[in-house]
Structure 1
Amino acid sequence: MQFKTRKLWRLLLLSLLSTCAAAGIVNASEDDSSDQDTQGRRYTFSWMFSESDSMKPRGGTTSGPEVRLDSGTAGAFSELQVRGLMPQERDRRAILAMAGDYRTSFDFIETVGFTQGYRPVAPYQSWGTERVYVVANEPDFVSLQHIIVMHFLDADGFESDAMVVKHWRQDWQYEDTEMHAFEGHGAFARRALNEQLRTGAWTQTVYQVDDSPRYEAIGRWTHAPGVSFWQSGDRRRPLPRREFSVRDDYQALYGSHRITITPAGWTQEEDALKLVLDAQNRPAAEQPYLAREAGLSRYDRVLNYDFSAGDLYWQSTGPFWSRVRQYWTDLYNKESAFRVAKTVDGVPMFMALFDMAGQLFESQGEMDEAIEVLLSAYVTVLTAPVTAS
């Protein structure tokens, strides 16, 4: 398989990234039920008195083949349930249990509005298929890379070649001493973690599809027979693509999230306030919060889905992305505050890096230099305070 980006796929990728949750997600029916039945099943709770047309879920519009769910208990979950484990090791096994093959679904809905004359906005729903790879597995550190593999169906029911999209990454650090917190308007700042807060806790750092930072949170794992979950503290995070592609009236989400490991897979629940910030990244004085949003992402294990195209992509481009990760590690270690731009001269960072990932380099030094030159255009080191509480 050739991974040099073709114009058609680049246009399709850009379209998907502009309209779906974080990267292109296939939105397809599980069975042969009618569209009306499918829509009826998709609501758990909603604004029951709103006009149905205005609250029709937005999200992906393409179709994909059916997937087969794994009804058994994952081996990683069984290893997590072993008696007598040290707390840190049980935590680490819970994190590793997120690796594997999944049907992923994303549901987001505003549940409460705070503004005068508030009208609820359409909820967001989409789903896809992705494999989660273990990039690093150490006693104090685990890194997981998500790769989406999509197979589209055309109007005649024919299946396309696989399309691969490097999705988000999550890094977990045990008893971390500091965080780079998102403050607003693309700015991140280093924050020290005191001993009481970090003892026995794990930080989760989430990175964008291009490995630029998204947000970082600290929390603790809780384990009981049959379930494990990690609860984050409150933190700010930037608007996801599903939001900033359609609105610009707020600048950050503020809240917490919970990750739950189950025999069938895992979930991420989110509780967030839509936060308006001023130019100094302070909550707006007159109306800081617009609405509260609930989110639920499900990762259900699947069987016999063809992720081979994702494996080939990761084998081919993995060395490049490891050097991109090193750039950000060096920046984190060197600078206490910086700002990241999504786009420079009309070119999104993710597209520039996705194109570069397919290039050939004579040496690692040449690759590092190209990455440095590219990313330096998107990153600004900050010397003045980036936020005020």
Structure 2
Amino acid sequence: MKKILIALGMFCGIEPWLMAQPKEDRNAIKQMCGCYEVKFNFAETFAFPKDASTYKPSAQYHEKALEWVQIVEESPRKIVLQHILIVGDTGIVKHWRQDWIYENREFLQYNGFEDWQKIILPKSQVRGQWAQKVYQVDDSPRYEGTGSWIHKDGRHYWESTAYAPLPRREFTKRNDYNLLKRRNRHEITHYGWLHEQDNDKIIRDTKGNDYVLAQEKGIDTYTKVDDNRCALAQKWWKENQELWTKIRRKWDSELAQNQYIKLKKRVDDKPLFMHLFALKNTATQDEINRLIDTFFEVRKSQQQ
């Protein structure tokens, strides 16, 4: 039956890989593109400290921003979306990136100590699913999860669970936990899309034992506005996309060949994103490679 359907698809001018992937899935991912007014909202819901008398929960977090999201790479099994923040009237921040890969089996799992371990899932476990691989502002890894897009009862959403480093809103303020277990839901809505989170703040020791310190709720709403409002971000990306293509190329190479990586938080008292943001958009591939190399504390390839 499958061969008949593929042959029929080719006869009708439909690529076989499109038949294997529900069109609704790709449409849902692409609907996250555009210009958005974003509201970021987080609140700690429960806490389980061993010493309640000294525990200080995070204050509620509320921020607003204008954000541009666009496709920077697309192939039969992959869609890459880049987020760019507009700060004030003229400020631009290259923000997070999300890669969507169909039936992906290889994942980098965060372990809690600035280190990531590659794991490989069986084909049966990812059949029909899309992996979302999220990268930090410097294009280093952040978290990766897999799940099925659900299109039912007028809703279009995707869910997964993944381990991640502390969020940027907390990593300079908190050191009483070292791992965030993220339960993510992306849902396409009438106003744009919603990123909903139910997270555990975890203390993991060096033996791999976990203790849930607290839980939090996150609601990030992306409300679609006219693309012209993000013209500044679009212009910035056109001028800088070649630089970030080179940076992405370096990371892709490292993550493909290494089974385990551990990164330094700072070099010359500055995090990686500050070094990268200071580069001219004419920086060479060798210059970028050398810079990123300085942030690797440990690499373990398949051959080691």
Q: What's the TM-score bracket when you normalise by the shorter of the two chains? A: 0.7 to 0.9
**TM-score, scaled to structure 1:** 0.69
Q: How does 1:99-118 map to 2 (within 5 A)?
A: 99-115=33-49, 116-117=51-52
Alpha-carbon distance between aligned partners in 1 of 2:130 and 2:190, rounded to the nearest angstrom = 22
Q: Deviations over 1:34-73 (max 9, x none)?
A: xxxxxxxxxxxxxxxxxxxxxxxxxxxxxxxxxxxxxxxx
Distance change >3 Å, CA 313–CA 291, structure 1 → 2: same
Q: How does 1:173-188 map to 2 (within 5 A)?
A: 173-188=101-116
Q: Deviations over 1:230-264 (max 9, x none)?
A: 011x3210001111111101001013111101121
Alpha-carbon distance between aligned partners in 2 of 1:383 and 1:329, rounded to the nearest angstrom = 15
Residue 293 of structure 2 corresponds to: 376
Deviation, 1:137, is 2.3
Query: 5+ unaligned residues in a row in structure 1: which ranges?
Result: 1-84, 152-160, 362-366, 385-389
Alpha-carbon distance between aligned partners in 1 of 2:149 and 2:68, rounded to the nearest angstrom = 23
Residue 8 of structure 2 corresponds to: none
Distance change >3 Å, CA 359–CA 172, structure 1 → 2: closer
Alpha-carbon distance between aligned partners in 1 of 2:58 and 2:75, rounded to the nearest angstrom = 43
Residue 192 of structure 2 corresponds to: 265
Contact in 2 for aligned 1:226/1:263 (Cα 8 Å):
no
Q: How does 1:139-288 map to 2 (within 5 A)?
A: 139-151=76-88, 161-232=89-160, 234-280=161-207, 282-284=208-210, 288=211
Q: Deviations over 1:86-115 (max 9, x none)?
A: 753211111001001100111111111112
Contact in 2 for aligned 1:89/1:139 (Cα 8 Å):
no
Deviation, 1:359, is 4.5
Deviation, 1:225, is 4.9
Residue 272 of structure 2 corresponds to: 349
Q: Deviations over 1:282-305 (max 9, x none)?
A: 135xxx111111111110111365
State whether structure 2 residue 69 is matched by structure 1 residue 132: yes
Contact in 2 for aligned 1:335/1:381 (Cα 8 Å):
no
| Root mean square deviation, CA, Å | 1.8
Alpha-carbon distance between aligned partners in 1 of 2:114 and 2:58, rounded to the nearest angstrom = 25
Deviation, 1:138, is 2.4
Distance change >3 Å, CA 97–CA 359, structure 1 → 2: closer
Q: Deviations over 1:187-210 (max 9, x none)?
A: 011100112211001110001111
Distance change >3 Å, CA 255–CA 314, structure 1 → 2: closer
Contact in 1 for aligned 2:200/2:216 (Cα 8 Å):
yes
Deviation, 1:216, is 0.6
Task: Say which structure is richer in strand.
Answer: 2
**TM-score, scaled to structure 2:** 0.87
Query: 5+ unaligned residues in a row in structure 2: which ranges?
Result: 1-18
Structure 2: which amino acid aligns with 1:277? R
Contact in 1 for aligned 2:242/2:281 (Cα 8 Å):
no
